Amino acid sequence: MSKGSKNYLRCGLIAFTMLVAGADLSAQDLSGFDCMIEPNSVANVSTREVGVLEEIMVKRGDIVKKGQVVARLESSLEAIALDFANARAKMTGEVGSRQATLDYMLRQRDRIAELYVDNAISFNEKDKAETDVRLAETELQVALDNQSLMQIERERAARRLELRSIRSPVEGVIVEILLVPGESVEDRAREIMTIAEVDPLKVEVIVPADRFGLIRVGTSAEITPLVPGGEVRVAAVSTVDRTIDAASGTFGIQLLLENKDHTLPGGIRCDITFVPETAAANP
């Protein structure tokens, strides 16, 4: 073997050794971190409407869907207003009357036009008949416009009644109910209940700055909840802070953890091990 070949082989072995050592170091450096599993979001449910709370539809610990009605305000006046608007929207008598008048005026105009051709009537009578038609058309249009406005009023009344039903802004669990039926919600900033979004859950990790660049968005991680019977779960990194905290020499990482069965609670500690990309690619 030539001297050049020996040097090439030696360099290759050194590079391979450094690569393996680096991979082992990365694997060791990316394990054993403490983490916190928290709700993805916490919604403090309130309403812009004022009135008295009539009914609470849920209780603490219930799982609710996004858009589900969780409470209602007293709404008897809004219900009456909707009934009134529905009745008005169904009124078609004025439109029918104006349509019948227009039909009559059109027939009159046609008859007078024939008489005018035969010189049996004056131009003034013909002009009056045509004017009566235009007036009847205008009155019919006004009636149709009024009917459209009544349809809008019905939709507005329905919306006002709908706003008396308070819906969950997220899919999650009822954490706390702050009011009871009969209490006033006239203060629009007054919270009615708290709902925590627990699918997905948010995993927060603080990592030393010297690991920056080793963990990227999409990097897999094994998460072990520190609760009795906690099983290892897999999640992917969703956010990596782009700034380092100078005081602590750390940066933050966030992962989203699926929890479709809602068996894992929020607010618990966990251990996390990030899976290096080389290990993920070569299981």
What does the H/E/C string look like for 156-191?
HHHHHHHCCEEECCCCEEEEEECCCCCCECCCCCCC
The stretch 17-25 carries a mean pLDDT of: 39
Under the banding of pLDDT at 50, 70 and 90, the label for residue 233 is very high
264-to-36, 109, 170, 237, 283 alpha-carbon distances in Å: 12, 80, 17, 19, 27
Mean pLDDT along residues 126-136: 94
Of 48-52, 66-70, 79-83, 184-188, give the lowest mean pLDDT range: 184-188
Cα 265–Cα 266–Cα 267 angle in degrees, nearest 5: 125
Question: According to the model, what pLDDT value does residue 278 have?
Answer: 55
Q: Are 165 and 176 in contact (CB under 8 A)?
A: no
Sequence-distant contacts of 104-110: CB under 8 A, at least 24 apart: 104/136, 105/129, 105/132, 105/133, 105/135, 105/136, 106/133, 106/136, 108/132, 109/133
Q: Over range 98-119, report the average pLDDT.
A: 93
State the pairing for strand pair 250-257/268-274. Answer: unpaired
Looking at residue 96, its pLDDT comes to 94
Could you check whether the bond before residue 200 is cis, i.e. omega within 30 degrees of 0?
yes
- Which residue, chain included where needed, has tokens 């602590």? 248
Rg (CA), the chain: 37
Over residues 186-200, the mean pLDDT reads 85
The reported pLDDT for the residue numbered 276 is: 74
Asked if the model's pLDDT at residue 5 lies above 60, the reply is: no
C-alpha span between 37 and 257 (Å, rounded):
9
SS (H, E, C) 37-53: EEEEEEEEECCCCCCEE
* 188 confidence band (pLDDT: 50, 70, 90): low
H-helix or E-strand spanning residue 18: helix 3-29
Residue with tokens 């680096």: 22
What is each CA distance from 228 to 205, 222, 224, 225, 264, in whole angstroms? Answer: 21, 17, 11, 8, 11
Instruction: Take residue 170 and report the two structure tokens written for it.
Output: 């997220």
What's the whole-number mean pLDDT along residues 80-90? 94
Lowest mean pLDDT among 9-13, 145-149, 192-196, 268-272: 9-13
CA distance 104 to 267: 77
Give the chain's mean pLDDT.
86
Q: Which sequence spans correspond to the domains of the chain?
A: 76-162
Q: Any idea which of 120-124, 163-167, 227-231 has the lowest mean pLDDT?
A: 227-231
Report yes or no: 273 and 220 within 8 Å, Cβ to Cβ: no
Read off the pLDDT of residues 149-179 as tens digits, 9 standing for 90 and up: 999 999 999 999 999 999 999 999 999 999 9
HSE (side-chain half, CA atoms, 13 Å) at 45: 31
- pLDDT at 14 (0 to 100): 31
Rounded to whole angstroms, the Cα distance separating 239 from 84 reads 53
